[in-house]
Amino acid sequence: MARSRVRSHRRSIICPVVSLTALALVLMLPARAQDGNTSLQGIVEDLTGARIAHADVTLIDPDNGFHSAVSTDGEGRFSFAMLAPGRYTVAASAPGMAVATQAGLELHVGGSMQLQLRLRPAGRAESITVVAPPALIDPDSGEVSQVIDERAIADLPLNGRRFTDLALLSPGVTQDPRGLTSGSNGDLSYGGTRGYQNSFLVDGTDNNNSFFAQARGRYRAPYQFSNEVIKEFRVSSNGYSAELGRAGGAVFNVVTNSGGNRWHGTSFFYVRDRDFDAQSAYVSSKPNEQQRQFGGTLGGPLRKNRAFLYLGYDQHELTVPSIMQFGNGASSVVPQPADYDRLDKDKVFAAAAQLNAMAGEYPTQMGGNAVFAKLDLNLSSRHLLFLRLSTSRYSGTNNVFFDPASPITTYTESNNGSEDVKTESLAASWTSAWTHRLSTNLRAQFSRDVQQSIANSDDPKIKIYGLVDGMGRSNILPRDSREHKLLTPSATIPGE
């Protein structure tokens, strides 16, 4: 019997001394972007290239009414840190100069945009609006990363609808060999490292299962975060900062959707049935395969420019019968014994008949749902707050080991088991821009990941080489893992 229990509690408290020290360092140092921090920096100058000090710079997100304002320093520089990904409009003005406006600035998670605004002498109520967005360049970062944006997540076909699989579009990303079947968990490999060395962040909070070294809830559809609730994510595979850290492979930095100033929603229904499929190779008939995934989202304002709600639901029902066949041929019948002692004939043929009884089709069923709710509050132009709740449930029959790509298996039903998973996370984040040189982000999260796997049999596991890979109880079942994580309020103060 193999049982394992994990209880992990992570507590980090920023004491006053550390906070004051960090504050002093921030006030002394010039502004610089960090890999996990979405930011916008730039300079304001006149037509001759001379920097303009104390110019007023305003940043606006038209989707939710967010706005923030700063003044340039003595060298004409400005910075907006800890921004949410989205499309922004920037306007700069100075006494005696025309207003310059740049619209359609698209900021991605973990990205830093460098902007140059040129003001010309004011004429009669003159203003200049630039529509073409600048390139997203961060000369201070050596990070190797790629953003999978909102359009790719919404438009690209994805079997199983696990959004992280879109990372396979990035150079150097491959399927981990142990992830080729669902029974081996579906990891992704970066630069030849094993998939369990990756790390997952969602809205800046930890989303790792510490026992299995995978994303919380692991790789079962529906996943804890449905495609529909993901805005975008950045995959950093090398050179990321300590702010992300804790990974030998890649870091998934994920941002979820939020409501805006207009109500909008989505709905989806996907179906796969044996009537639409060709017959699998090496089987005499088509198994009764059925797969349905459905759900939707709804988001909008509770109070315009102030409070926003976003809801999501995803449910997945899957039936993929497993067809047990013996390893020495496509036939489900054990070859008749030929070399045996005459006195043992009855025992030999009885054993062959017992093996034949294990062959054939046995049911594999899975079902589950994922629920998502997020509340965003614009407390003021300097203070933003969000609360997020996500849950997932997963259960079924013979769902510990299965391969949806092929119904054929050389493991008997007694070697399988049934699994039940319950996952929740409650997260909160408060972002504040105190001055143009100081921004803070306070985060807290409680999460629970409970997984119970029950064996179908208590008989010893037996393997007959070349014939049966497993009958009797699996050597990893039963399994019971319980992980609770409490991340007490922690502060992030970006260096400038």
Q: Which amino acid is at 180?
A: L
Return the C-alpha torsion angle 167, 172, 177, 181, nearest 10.
20
Tokens 């340039």 -> residue: 72
Q: The pTM is what?
A: 0.81
Confidence at residue 410, expressed as pLDDT on a 0 to 100 scale: 85
Confidence at residue 16, expressed as pLDDT on a 0 to 100 scale: 39
Q: Are residues 475 and 336 in the same domain?
A: yes
User: Which residues form the domain of 44?
Assistant: 35-130
The string of pLDDT tens digits covering residues 93-109 is 999 898 999 998 999 98
Residues 6 or more apart from 273 whose CB is under 8 A from it?
Answer: 289, 290, 291
The string of pLDDT tens digits covering residues 342-393 is 777 788 778 878 888 888 888 888 899 999 999 999 998 889 999 999 999 9
Q: Are residues 262 and 318 in the same domain?
A: yes
Measure the CA–CA gap between 404 and 396, rounded to whole angstroms. 14
Question: How far, in Å, are 64, 368, 389, 397 from residue 321 at the CA level?
Answer: 48, 17, 34, 10
Measure the CA–CA gap between 237 and 225, rounded to whole angstroms. 22
Confidence at residue 341, expressed as pLDDT on a 0 to 100 scale: 75
Classify residue 382: in a domain, yes or no. yes
Q: Where are the beta strands (DSSP E) in 325-413?
A: 360-362, 365-378, 383-397, 408-409
Q: Are residues 432 and 455 in the same domain?
A: yes
More confident call, 326 vs 307: 307
Measure the CA–CA gap between 414 and 431, rounded to whole angstroms. 53
**Helix H or strand E segment including 485:** strand 479-492
Confidence at residue 310, expressed as pLDDT on a 0 to 100 scale: 97
Q: Which of 68, 103, 130 is the last residue of a domain?
A: 130
Q: Which amino acid is at 408?
A: I
Measure the CA–CA gap between 198 and 239, rounded to whole angstroms. 14
Model confidence at 31, pLDDT cuts 50, 70, 90, reads: very low
Measure the CA–CA gap between 65 and 378, rounded to whole angstroms. 9
Q: Which of 102, 130, 158 is the last residue of a domain?
A: 130
Classify residue 20: in a domain, yes or no. no
Classify residue 234: in a domain, yes or no. yes
The string of pLDDT tens digits covering residues 159-175 is 778 888 888 888 878 87
Q: Are residues 178 and 311 in the same domain?
A: yes
Pairing of strands 208-209, 383-397: unpaired
Classify residue 27: in a domain, yes or no. no
Q: Which of 108, 130, 152 is the last residue of a domain?
A: 130
Classify residue 57: in a domain, yes or no. yes
Give how many domains the chain has, as a whole number. Answer: 2
Nearest-CA neighbor of 200 among 168, 164, 172?
164
Q: If you average pLDDT over every residue of the chain, what do you get?
A: 80
Contact 225, 257 (CB under 8 A): no
Q: Are residues 88 and 218 in the same domain?
A: no
Q: Are residues 83 and 207 in the same domain?
A: no
Q: Which amino acid is at 251?
A: V
Q: Are residues 61 and 94 in the same domain?
A: yes
Nearest-CA neighbor of 44 among 33, 32, 54, 59?
54
Q: Are residues 196 and 245 in the same domain?
A: yes
Give the CATH number, domain containing residue 46: 2.60.40.1120
Terminal Cα-to-Cα distance of the chain (whole angstroms): 54
Q: Are residues 408 and 365 in the same domain?
A: yes
